[in-house]
């Protein structure tokens, strides 16, 4: 049994699994159920001046029979009065003193407003604050959420206002709807943030109904862009976490969010530099009970790797995540087809033929059976065939001896000396 | 199955009929599972295995976790993955039955427990010793399941087993092409690894006295199951070539294959699951022709539909409404013919089925070389009487909640309490009763402290 507890920017949590701010953390009833199921913490549904929500709010991408490959919403921050939320936070904290409650906050970019709300939530005993600069719809039109999250100066300024009043750690939640997320990460740390969390949702339109020509979802025939999340956004979130983690001028703790649904996703985010984790869509899809396998699976994984603490995972893959110019140009891999595993769907052949480098040959072997072979001298090692292959182990990418390693950067440096 | 002609190629016929799922099949199947909440499959499982949870764990690659979920709920989880009538239980309850095809729960359970068998990861720990002792009579699924749970609670457990190996019918009774003996023995090992002492070759009532158990232990669990097939009470039953199905299958299961049946004509008396097992074993041993002889009709047979289908696939013939009257010898003490009488169905009887009645002057003869009797199992009545337990024709009476017998110190679980319309004789039911017995002992002992 490994130790799953984390220390995230001074906030101690029994495990790294927190619910992200969203529908699952909308009320005390839900957060208490989540804590009973095993979640280590919850970031409360964003507090601010109450808003009015539209009905019909969500939609999802179902892909080839799998439901919710991606998820989209046009919901705003909490629509419940602040005093009700505060009362339920206090009550939940009292019942579950060991679990972490973070207040997610969003107010207008005015210094007094930030001071006021920070005091109110700290008075009811939250363990930390998360500033929501990420919501891409609705709130942005009012100058909040991603509208302020896309402007580094506003991020820095508002973070510093929150910090002026805060006694608990301040986490800044970043929007992915920006070209370079490290710019706003940097602004947050300049503003005094104790940690950053990312990602919030990505601008998206789920689809169009081909009969009515309405957007999906639609509100009385009209739609608007929403925020995308769920399994489909994980690669984007992971790269953004990695980009922030590998910034050499900052070692600000990161709470990883975006498409986390299993202990495997969790371990990957931690290896890429996240100390804490947040989950929204997966809990909405399957319920709070998913945390049981997240805890159990992570525990068994750590045991298997001989690691005593989950903190030993944090950042272990960050040094391996580099600029393209640091990659070895002379490294070679080629595809190899294992005849005994191959089921002869010929997907690799057509993928290579039309989408890569025309080096997988179809032929008839000496027993008259169809077979496939890679012409290794022409294979560029792109992986496409092994990606489209439906059978595990039928195509291996084999390492070939190459010349002395040399990266692009080394090559340029060498050329410059000539 | 191929027709064996020599003793050497007999063995192949006893390989498991159903193959393990391949890795791709596993991934496709786990991705199909809906991960239902308050799932009907879990409720349909007598041991309430949290099916969606273990399937989700296979999907996430947490194989140890998956095996743990299964074995925690069911100490015979690997056996049950192979022998449970899943169509009647978990898979029959799957919500996908209506929408598409049910999830192959049994096969996924097998995949997860195969992992555990291969990886030798200890899944459970014994509890802190509580100073109390329990004797368990019989090491079948009921006894082993009680033993494991009691060991986890901290009891010092001693199991007495009259046979050479532990495991009960899992080790000796369920045909090897459905359940290889090694699976059952692995489950035995799991229980032993918790510090449970299993004394094999030790029959209670003979090698160890009932009074000794009653005096030396704080509680006793009677889990002796049922015994051999009853006598038919017709002439010729003692001839060579007339076998008891339980003993016949036991020999096959324990690896004593013989070429004696190659090319022979065989008749199996009865049409329950055991009869089908005996018939399909005979076929695999090379019998040229196997007939099942049953005094009622197809509609009344007690074998599961999938067992019946399996027998038909194996080329077993069925003689409905036929009852043996006597076995006739070949002059050398070996059975050669069977005299039968035709039957017809009359009024509904106590079992709720139409009573078979003899058709006058309908006698006829069948030429046969082998007879296997599979008409139920008799009870260990004298042992039950030696314990002084209230019983109904050898079916021990228990409190359905606590599994306590008329003697509060003695509990009973498994086939020894099965009968009179109280569920099915199944491994999974025996395992669940063992678990519940252990829980009741724990609760009652603790309340006494
Ligand atoms: C041929 C056959 C096929 C079956 N197939 C299936 C199937 O496919 N699926 C399924 O779910 N169920 C099947 N069953 C039923 C299942 O095997 C039983 O319901 C289950 O094994 C009952 O468990 P138990 O522990 O009560 O008894 P058993 O498994 O019978 O174990 C009792 C043990 O007690 C021992 N014992 C008896 N007397 C003494 C004594 N005096 N001292 C010490 N030890 C003693 C016995 O040797 C035995 O090992 C089958 C049964 C038979 C006979
Ligand atoms: C319906 C819905 C409502 C959300 N509301 C909020 C919110 O109020 N505040 C916030 O910071 N993030 C909100 N989010 C974003 C999530 O907290 C999270 O950053 C995002 O969904 C990515 O994680 P996931 O892939 O695990 O869902 C919301 C997400 C969804 C799906
Ligand atoms: S999930 Fe609940 S709130 Fe949402 S549409 Fe369905 S019933 Fe209504």
Yes or no: say if B263 and B288 are a contact pair by the CB < 8 Å rule. yes
Chain B residue set in contact with A, beta carbons under 8 Å: 23-24, 31, 35, 37, 53, 56-57, 59-62, 64-65, 68
Binding pocket residue ranges, ligand 2, CB within 6 Å? A 20-23, 45-46, 58, 71, 73, 75, 77, 104, 132, 134-135, 173, 200-201, 229-230, 233, 257-260, 279-282
Distance from CA of A65 to the nearest CA of B (A): 9
Yes or no: say if A74 and A217 are a contact pair by the CB < 8 Å rule. yes
Same domain, B254 and B350: yes
Q: What is the pLDDT of residue A145?
A: 73
Three-point CA angle B280, B285, B288, nearest 5°: 80
Residue among B122, B128, B118, B114 at smallest CA distance from B193: B122
Q: What is the pLDDT of residue B13?
A: 85
Which pLDDT band holds residue B420 (cuts at 50, 70, 90)? low
How many residues appear in chain B?
449
Q: Is the pLDDT of residue A119 over 70?
A: yes
**Structural domain contains residue B233:** no
Same domain, B138 and B83: no
Q: Is the pLDDT of residue A135 over 80?
A: no
CA distance A93 to A364: 70
More confident residue, B179 or A251: B179
CA distance B35 to B31: 9
Backbone angles phi, psi at A139, to 5 degrees: -65, -35
- Which A residues in the span 18-77 are in contact with B, Cβ-Cβ below 8 Å? 66
Same domain, B359 and B401: no
Q: Which of A131-135, A160-164, B22-26, B241-245 has the lowest mean pLDDT?
A: A131-135
Q: Is the pLDDT of residue A342 over 80?
A: yes
Beta bridge partners of B329: B335
Q: Which of B55, B89, B119 is the endpoint of a domain?
A: B119
Same domain, B85 and B138: no
Q: Is the pLDDT of residue A131 over 60?
A: yes
Q: Which two tokens stand for residue B372?
A: 């296997």
Chain A and chain B share a number of CB contacts under 8 A equal to 36
Instruction: Give me the mean pLDDT over the A277-297 stretch.
Output: 98
Q: What is the pLDDT of residue B449?
A: 54
Same domain, B194 and B96: no
The CATH number assigned to the domain holding B351 equals 3.50.50.60
CA end-to-end span of chain A = 58
Residues in chain A closer than 8 A to B53 (CB atoms): 289, 292-293
Yes or no: say if B434 and B414 are a contact pair by the CB < 8 Å rule. yes
Residue among A272, A257, A240, A238 at smallest CA distance from A102: A257
Instruction: Give me the mean pLDDT over the A27-33 stretch.
Output: 98
Domain ranges of chain A: 6-318, 324-417
The percent of residues above 90 in pLDDT, for chain A, comes to 91
Q: Which two tokens stand for residue A70?
A: 């991606």
For the segment B210-246, what is each residue's pLDDT rounded down to a tens digit? 999 999 999 999 999 999 999 999 999 999 999 999 9
Q: Which two tokens stand for residue A130?
A: 């998360």
Residue A56 CA to ligand 3 centre (angstroms): 10
Q: What is the pLDDT of residue B351?
A: 78
**Structural domain contains residue B310:** yes
CB B46 near ligand 1, within 6 Å: no
**Structural domain contains residue B237:** no
CA distance A76 to A99: 26
Q: Which two tokens stand for residue A212?
A: 């009515």
CATH 3.20.20.70 fits A6-318, yes or no: yes
**Structural domain contains residue B149:** yes
Same domain, B361 and B420: no
Same domain, B221 and B102: no
Q: How many folded domains does chain B comprise?
A: 3
**Structural domain contains residue B353:** yes
CA distance A289 to B42: 15
Yes or no: say if A255 and A233 are a contact pair by the CB < 8 Å rule. no
Tell if the CB–CB gap between B53 and A292 is shorter than 8 Å: yes
Q: Is the pLDDT of residue B407 over 60?
A: yes
Yes or no: say if A19 and A104 are a contact pair by the CB < 8 Å rule. no
Which of A286, A289, A297 comes nearest B57 by C-beta?
A297
Q: Tell me how crowded residue A5 is: count the other CB atoms within 10 A of its CB.
A: 14
Ligand 2 atom closest to residue A76's alpha carbon, by position in its atom list: 8
Residues in chain A closer than 8 A to B24 (CB atoms): 390-392
Q: Which of B92, B119, B146 is the endpoint of a domain?
A: B119
**Structural domain contains residue B217:** yes
Residue among B300, B317, B75 at smallest CA distance from B196: B75
Q: Is the pLDDT of residue A152 over 90?
A: yes
Residue B140 CA to ligand 1 centre (angstroms): 5
Same domain, B49 and B95: yes
Q: Is the pLDDT of residue A89 over 80?
A: yes
CA distance A192 to B417: 71
The residue whose CA is least distant from atom 14 of ligand 2 is: A22
Q: Is the pLDDT of residue A336 over 70?
A: yes
Same domain, B412 and B385: yes
CA distance B251 to B308: 23
Q: Which two tokens stand for residue A311?
A: 């903190």
Instruction: Give me the mean pLDDT over the B369-385 stretch.
Output: 95
Same domain, B256 and B169: no
The CATH number assigned to the domain holding B65 equals 1.10.1060.10
**Structural domain contains residue B321:** yes
CB B139 near ligand 1, within 6 Å: yes
Q: Is the pLDDT of residue B185 over 90?
A: yes
Q: Is the pLDDT of residue B307 over 80?
A: yes
CA distance A57 to A72: 8
Backbone angles phi, psi at B208, to 5 degrees: -130, 135
- For residue A70, the SS3 value is strand
Q: Which residue has the tokens 């299961």?
A: B253
Q: Which two tokens stand for residue A114?
A: 């930030």
The per-residue DSSP string of A360-381 comes to: EEEEE-TTS-EEEEE-TTT---
CA distance B118 to B116: 5
Beta bridge partners of B424: none
For the segment A48-59, what is each residue's pLDDT rounded down to a tens digit? 987 889 999 999
Q: What is the pLDDT of residue B257?
A: 84
CATH topology of domain A324-417: Alpha-Beta Plaits (3.30.70)
Which of A263, A287, A289 comes nearest B60 by C-beta?
A263
Q: Which two tokens stand for residue A406?
A: 């040399």
Q: What is the pLDDT of residue A76?
A: 92
CA distance B205 to B389: 14
Q: Tell me how crowded residue A407 is: count the other CB atoms within 10 A of its CB.
A: 18
Q: What is the pLDDT of residue B421?
A: 54
Burial of A203 from C-beta contacts in 10 A (0-12 / 13-18 / 19+): middle
- For residue A167, the SS3 value is coil
Residue A264 in contact with partner chain B when CB distance is under 8 A: yes
Q: Is the pLDDT of residue A28 over 90?
A: yes
Residue partners of B173: CB distance under 8 A and separation at least 6: B246, B249, B250, B253
Yes or no: say if B173 and B253 are a contact pair by the CB < 8 Å rule. yes
Q: What is the pLDDT of residue A364?
A: 94
Tell if the CB–CB gap between A300 and B31 is shorter than 8 Å: no
Q: What is the pLDDT of residue B290?
A: 97
Q: What is the pLDDT of residue B448?
A: 63
The percent of residues above 70 in pLDDT, for chain B, comes to 97
Positions of A annotated as catalytic residues are 135
- Maximum distance among all alpha carbons in chain A? 82
Q: What is the pLDDT of residue B406?
A: 97
Q: What is the pLDDT of residue B128?
A: 97
Residue among A238, A287, A285, A246 at smallest CA distance from A265: A238
CA end-to-end span of chain B = 58
**CA-to-CA dists, residue A370 to A74, A251, A387, A393, B319, angstroms:** 52, 56, 21, 19, 49
Residue among A233, A301, A315, A210 at smallest CA distance from A264: A301
Same domain, B348 and B293: yes
Instruction: Give me the mean pLDDT over the A315-332 stretch.
Output: 96
Domain that holds residue B301: 242-373
Q: Which two tokens stand for residue B39?
A: 């799932």
Q: What is the pLDDT of residue A182?
A: 97
Q: Which two tokens stand for residue B414?
A: 């498994």
DSSP secondary structure code for residue A137 in this structure: S
Residue partners of B317: CB distance under 8 A and separation at least 6: B289, B290, B291, B292
Instruction: Give me the mean pLDDT over the A311-319 stretch.
Output: 97
Q: Which residue does chain B place closest to A302, by CA atoms?
A: B62
Q: What is the 3-state secondary structure (H, E, C) of chain B?
A: CCCCCCCHHHHHHHCCCCCCCCHHHHHHHHHHCCCCCCCHHHHHCCCCCCHHHHHHHHHHCCHHHHHHHHHHHCCCHHHHHHHCCCCCCHHHHCCHHHHCCCCCHHHHHHHHHHHHHHHCCCCCCCCCCCCCEEEEECCCHHHHHHHHHHHHHCCEEEEECCCCCCCCHHHHCCCCCCCCHHHHHHHHHHHHCCCCEEECCCCECCCECHHHHHHHCCEEEECCCCCCCCCCCCCCCCCECEEEHHHHHHHHHCCCCCCCCCCCEEEEECCCHHHHHHHHHHHHCCCCEEEEECCCCHHHCCCCHHHHHHHHHCCCEEECCEEEEEEEECCCCEEEEEEEEEEEEEEECCCCCEEEEECCCCCEEEECCEEEECCCCCCCHHHHHHCCCCEECCEECCCCCCCECCCCCEEECHHHHCCCCCCCCCHHHHHHHHHHHHHHHHHHHHHHC
Q: What is the pLDDT of residue A146?
A: 74
The residue whose CA is least distant from atom 18 of ligand 2 is: A200
Same domain, B387 and B368: no
Which of A290, A293, A390 comes nearest B65 by C-beta?
A293
Which pLDDT band holds residue A301 (cuts at 50, 70, 90)? very high
Q: Which of B91, B119, B147 is the endpoint of a domain?
A: B119
């Amino acid at each position: 049994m490994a130790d799953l507890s984390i220390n995230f920017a001074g906030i101690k949590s029994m495990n790294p699994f927190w619910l992200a701010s969203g529908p699952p953390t909308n009320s005390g009833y839900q957060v208490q159920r989540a804590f009973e199921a095993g979640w280590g913490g919850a970031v409360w549904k964003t507090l601010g001046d109450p808003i009015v929500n539209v009905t019909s709010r969500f939609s999802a991408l179902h892909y080839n029979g799998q439901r919710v490959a991606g998820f989209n919403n046009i919901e705003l921050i909490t629509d419940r009065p602040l005093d009700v939320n505060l009362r339920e936070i206090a009550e939940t904290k009292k019942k579950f003193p060991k679990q972490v409650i973070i207040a997610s906050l969003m107010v207008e970019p005015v210094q007094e407003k930030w001071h006021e709300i920070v005091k109110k939530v700290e008075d009811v005993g939250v363990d930390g604050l998360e500033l929501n600069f990420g919501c891409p719809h609705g709130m942005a039109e009012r100058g909040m959420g991603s509208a302020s999250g896309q402007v580094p100066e506003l991020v820095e300024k508002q973070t510093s206002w929150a910090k002026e009043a805060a006694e608990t750690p301040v986490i800044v939640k970043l929007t992915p709807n920006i070209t370079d997320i490290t710019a706003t990460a940097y602004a947050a740390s300049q503003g005094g943030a104790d940690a950053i969390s990312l990602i919030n949702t990505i601008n998206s339109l789920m689809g169009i109904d081909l009969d009515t020509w309405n957007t999906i979802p639609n509100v009385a025939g009209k739609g608007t862009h929403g925020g995308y999340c769920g399994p489909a956004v994980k690669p984007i979130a992971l790269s953004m976490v990695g980009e922030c983690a590998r910034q050499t001028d900052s070692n600000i703790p990161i709470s990883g969010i975006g498409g986390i649904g299993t202990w495997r996703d969790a371990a990957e985010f931690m290896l890429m530099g996240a100390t804490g984790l947040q989950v929204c869509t997966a809990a909405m899809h399957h319920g709070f009970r998913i945390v049981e396998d997240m805890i159990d699976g992570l525990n068994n994984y750590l045991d298997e790797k001989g690691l005593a603490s989950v903190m030993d995972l944090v950042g272990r893959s960050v040094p391996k995540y580099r600029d393209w110019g640091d990659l070895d140009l002379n490294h070679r891999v080629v595809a190899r087809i294992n005849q005994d595993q191959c089921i002869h769907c010929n997907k690799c052949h057509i993928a290579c033929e039309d989408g890569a480098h025309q080096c997988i040959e179809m032929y008839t072997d000496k027993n008259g059976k169809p077979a496939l072979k890679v012409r290794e001298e022409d294979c560029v090692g792109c992986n496409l065939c092994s990606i489209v292959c439906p059978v595990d182990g039928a195509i291996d990418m084999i390492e070939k001896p190459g010349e002395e390693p040399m990266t692009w950067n080394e090559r340029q440096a060498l050329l410059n000396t000539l | 199955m191929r027709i064996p002609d020599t003793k050497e190629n007999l063995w192949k016929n006893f390989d498991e009929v159903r193959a393990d799922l391949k890795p791709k099949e596993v991934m496709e199947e786990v991705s199909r599972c809906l991960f239902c909440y308050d799932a009907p499959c879990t409720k349909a499982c007598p041991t309430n295995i949290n099916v969606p949870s273990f399937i989700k764990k296979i999907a996430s690659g947490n194989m140890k976790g998956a095996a743990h979920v299964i074995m925690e709920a069911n100490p015979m989880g690997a056996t049950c993955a192979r022998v449970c009538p899943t169509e009647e239980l978990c898979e029959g309850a799957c919500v996908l039955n209506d929408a598409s095809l049910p999830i192959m729960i049994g096969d996924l359970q097998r995949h997860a427990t195969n992992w555990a068998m291969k990886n030798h990861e200890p899944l459970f720990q014994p509890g802190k010793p509580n100073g109390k002792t329990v004797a368990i009579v019989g090491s079948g699924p009921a006894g082993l399941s009680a033993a494991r749970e009691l060991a986890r609670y901290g009891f010092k457990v001693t199991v007495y087993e009259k046979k050479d190996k532990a495991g009960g019918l899992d080790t000796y009774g369920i045909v090897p092409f459905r359940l290889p003996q090694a699976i059952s023995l692995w489950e035995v090992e799991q229980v032993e690894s918790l510090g449970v002492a299993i004394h094999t070759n030790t029959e209670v009532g003979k090698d160890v006295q009932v009074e000794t158990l009653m005096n030396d232990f704080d509680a006793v669990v009677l889990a002796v199951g049922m015994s051999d097939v009853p006598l038919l009470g017709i002439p010729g039953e003692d001839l060579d070539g007339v076998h008891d199905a339980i003993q016949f299958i036991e020999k096959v299961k324990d690896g004593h294959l013989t070429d004696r049946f190659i090319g022979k004509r065989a008749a199996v008396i009865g049409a329950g699951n055991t009869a089908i097992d005996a018939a399909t074993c005979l076929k695999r041993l090379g019998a040229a022709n196997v007939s099942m002889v049953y005094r009622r009709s197809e509609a009344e047979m007690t074998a599961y539909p999938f067992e019946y289908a399996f027998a038909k696939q194996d080329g077993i013939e069925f003689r409905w409404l036929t009852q043996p009257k006597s076995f006739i010898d070949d002059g050398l003490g070996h059975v050669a013919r069977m005299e039968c009488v035709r039957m017809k169905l009359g009024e509904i009887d106590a079992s709720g089925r139409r009573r078979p009645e003899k058709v006058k002057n309908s006698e006829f003869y069948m030429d046969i070389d082998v007879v296997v009797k599979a008409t139920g199992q008799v009870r260990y009545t004298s042992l039950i009487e030696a314990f002084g337990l209230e019983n109904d024709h050898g079916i021990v009476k228990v409190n359905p909640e606590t599994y306590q017998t008329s003697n509060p110190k003695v509990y009973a679980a498994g086939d020894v309490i099965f009968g009179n319309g109280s569920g099915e004789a199944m491994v999974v039911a025996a395992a669940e009763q063992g678990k519940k017995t252990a829980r009741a002992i724990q609760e009652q002992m603790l309340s006494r402290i």
